[in-house]
Amino acid sequence: MNNLKSIVAADGVDLSGIGINGYAFKADIALKLIELFREESTVILGGDVLKIVDLNKYDLTYDNWSYEGSNVFESCKEAESYIKNYKYKNGDEFLYQLIT
């Protein structure tokens, strides 16, 4: 859990400035977090994608994914797949908010 908190503190983008409670992460950091959630047996229920517009400016893309179930490994696999595919198709100028 301490590793998770340190990643959020170091690499998380606070979304409260755009009215969202939580943090979002570049793809490589989000993928590291997914691995930590897997190790901690935390189900990822889904996530949202935000476009990096400018320094400290982000817009919702309204792209997202969801997982209905309780299997930690399947939820993490689905989140990894979505983020990797999204980055491949759209580039690296996006943030991902993971919902647990």
CA–CA dist 52, 44 (Å, integer): 23
Residue 41 is which amino acid?
Answer: S
pLDDT at residue 25 is higher than 90: yes
Question: For the segment 29-84, what is each residue's pLDDT rounded down to a tens digit?
Answer: 999 999 999 999 999 999 999 999 998 899 999 999 999 999 999 999 999 999 99
CA–CA dist 62, 91 (Å, integer): 16
Coil, helix or strand at residue 37: helix
3-class SS shares of the chain: helix, strand, coil, % to 5: 45, 30, 25
Coil, helix or strand at residue 76: helix
Q: Which CATH class is domain 2-99?
A: alpha beta
